[in-house]
Amino acid sequence: MKRLNRKKKKLIAAIITIIIISVFLFFFIILPMGILGPEPSPLFYIFNSDDDTNHTVTVEIFNSNNTSIYNKSFDVKPDDYIKIDRGFDWCPKHMFYWFFWDEGSYTFYVTLDNTYNESYHTDLYPVKSIMIRLYSNEIPLKVGAVTI
């Protein structure tokens, strides 16, 4: 009789453990990945629609405290694009990135060939990317956002 009780206790403990692990996997891994996807979208894209000219684009990003957190220049070839992924400071690229995401308001200051300037203020989240277009429909510089 005692032996049967031990087997039942072990079986019940195993079933409870499996249920707890299954609930954890569903709510903390499977469900968020189904909603957010496996990794965040790129931070921004730069598209050069000009057919015959290379362009230099400088992107500076300010956080909600108006502190510069990113400043880099890129040389973009004609009819080409550059994709900039989010680094660890923006969003860690592993399966638990939604726990570490630093949401907030950011301002993108974009300069084209030290001539044209445009700023774009937005809230960022893992599925939102900034699109920087050069010479699209005769407009030298256009900055906007897209949700992927």
Residue 112: CB atoms within 10 A of its CB come to: 20
Q: Confidence band (pLDDT; 50, 70, 90) for 60?
A: very high
Q: How confident is the model at residue 98, as a pLDDT? A: 47
DSSP state of 35: H
Q: How confident is the model at residue 51, as a pLDDT? A: 75
pLDDT for 147 beyond 50 = yes
Beta bridge partners of 83: 45
Nearest-10 Cα torsion for 137, 139, 144, 148:
30
Give the predicted TM-score (pTM) of the model.
0.66
Residue 8 CA, distance from chain mean position: 48
With contact defined as beta carbons under 8 Å apart, do 144 and 44 qualify? Answer: no
Q: How confident is the model at residue 67, as a pLDDT? A: 85
Q: What are φ and ψ of residue 79, in 5° steps?
A: 50, 40
Rounded to whole angstroms, how far apart are CA atoms 144 and 132?
7
pLDDT digits (tens, 9 = 90+) for 110-131: 999 989 999 999 887 777 888 9
Q: Confidence band (pLDDT; 50, 70, 90) for 99?
A: very low
Determine what percent of the chain is predicted with pLDDT higher than 70. 76
pLDDT digits (tens, 9 = 90+) for 77-98: 988 989 988 765 554 444 444 4
Q: Residue 45 corresponds to which tokens in the numbers above?
A: 């894209």
